[in-house]
Amino acid sequence: MQASDFGNPNHVAALVRQIRAKATRPWTIMEVCGGQTHAILRYGIDQLLPESMRIVHGPGCPVCVTPIDSIDRAIQIASEPGVIFCTFGDMLRVPGSRGDLMQAKSCGADVRIIQSPMEAYRIALAEPARQVVLFAIGFETTAPATAMAIRMAKEHRLECFSALVCHVLVPPALEAIFSDSEHGIDGLLAAGHVCTIAGYRAYDALAERFGIPIAITGFEPVDLLRGMLSIVEQLEDQPSTHRVENVYEHIAELDGNPHAQRIVDEVFCVCDQSWRGIGTLPQSGLKLSSDYAAFDAETRFERLAHEPQEPSICRAADVLRGKIRPIECPAFGNLCTPSSPLGAPMVSNEGACAAYYLYQALWSDKNPSIEGPA
């Protein structure tokens, strides 16, 4: 396919017809990518599907799953004298238990928005008298760029540079969700950009162990609908099948990007990691390896003196597990809005709650039967 084909309305209409013809029973499909969440709602793909098909949104936003204690830790470090704290912009308003980075910045903290980890490295080169801390978050997709910045800092002996590492790995989170006997998920749309880096061999084991069909897919309407059709066809097979099918074949490959994997393996090692709304998952995160431990911001600054707490009314945890959709949370649209968020999924550009708030309002204008935010 050419690039223009992935939004072609004729292709979209043909795929929708095929899905409607194939789907004879209620099915629930989860996606785990904030970009996919927004695309599904922006293009109204969920409105085109059979009424029996339900799309839920799992832990597909790295901002949203960054644990609250890491947010509090980031605020604490950013507020230290002499620190330049470098972060992606969508982390600024993610709520910790005592404010957010935007509030810290307004109180005088030198918090700088960056577009890539290498920007933090360049800031450290330019300001060696300050402590430059990179807030390193993301899935497998962004870990190579973080690893490269840290390796460059070591090569140039930049003792003023460190990283607060919160990188997480997708397959262990999916294993935790599917291990719940009441997960209710029939099929999975896997994030193509994650698989482009890490490959998708790990998904073969998930499909086999849990009997769930998986489609590796992208972000455009045709990408997403091809993935949904693949899952529906497998579910409707007699007997049903559960294999991994790569419908993002123009980008993702089975073994991913070996060059990116090598730099990640050099700088990081796998560790247990806390996920916001999910808890601590074994072998689901990355930490600095012993050769790079000197660049760990966790060890350079004092520990938190308080125990972080989540707001009790916020059901972001259930949203991240695919238990509910954002509009089913009692705080959605009234107590929790983009201007006054309770949970990270309402803040992030990739958060499911923010997507529903934005696009449900759009579609309710076109279809009065769709209830938008209060």
What are 153-196's pLDDT values in tens digits? 999 999 999 999 999 999 999 999 999 999 999 999 999 999 99
Cα 287 from chain centroid (whole Å): 18
Tell me: the pLDDT tens digits for 128-157?
999 999 999 999 999 999 999 999 999 999
**Does the pLDDT value for residue 209 go beyond 70?**
yes
Closest CA to 346 of 322, 370, 369, 320: 320
**Does the pLDDT value for residue 242 go beyond 90?**
yes
Six-digit token string for 168:
């997480």
Q: What percent of the chain has pLDDT over 90?
A: 70
Q: Where are the domains of the chain?
A: 3-61+173-246, 63-169+258-300
Mean pLDDT along residues 297-310: 78
Other C-beta atoms within 10 Å of 156: how many?
13
Residue type at 131?
Answer: Q
Q: What is the mean pLDDT of the chain?
A: 90
Q: Say how many residues make up the chain.
A: 374
Cβ-based neighbours of 119, under 8 Å, separated by 6 or more:
86
Can you tell me the distance from the alpha carbon of 61 to that of 234, in angstroms, rounded to the nearest whole number? 27
Mean pLDDT along residues 26-36: 94
pLDDT for the residue 361: 57
Q: Between β-strands 110-113 and 83-87, what pairing exists: parallel, antiparallel or unpaired?
A: parallel
Band of residue 304 on the pLDDT scale cut at 50, 70, 90: low
Can you tell me the distance from the alpha carbon of 166 to that of 143, in angstroms, rounded to the nearest whole number? 10
Mean pLDDT along residues 242-271: 96
Q: What percent of the chain has pLDDT over 70?
A: 93
pLDDT for the residue 4: 54
C-alpha dihedral sign at 210, 32, 214, 14:
positive
Q: In the CATH scheme, what is the code of domain 63-169+258-300?
A: 3.40.50.11740
pLDDT for the residue 97: 85
For the entire predicted model, the pTM comes to 0.88
Residue type at 94?
Answer: V
pLDDT for the residue 369: 38
Q: Does domain 3-61+173-246 have CATH number 3.40.1280.10?
A: no
The helix (run of H) or strand (run of E) holding residue 165 is strand 161-167
Least confident piece of the model among 48-57, 95-104, 361-370: 361-370
Band of residue 365 on the pLDDT scale cut at 50, 70, 90: very low
Distances, alpha carbon 87 to alpha carbons 71, 112, 213, 324, in Å:
11, 6, 36, 30
Band of residue 370 on the pLDDT scale cut at 50, 70, 90: very low
pLDDT for the residue 270: 97
Q: Do the Cβ atoms of 120 and 164 come closer than 8 Å?
A: no
**Does the pLDDT value for residue 250 go beyond 50?**
yes
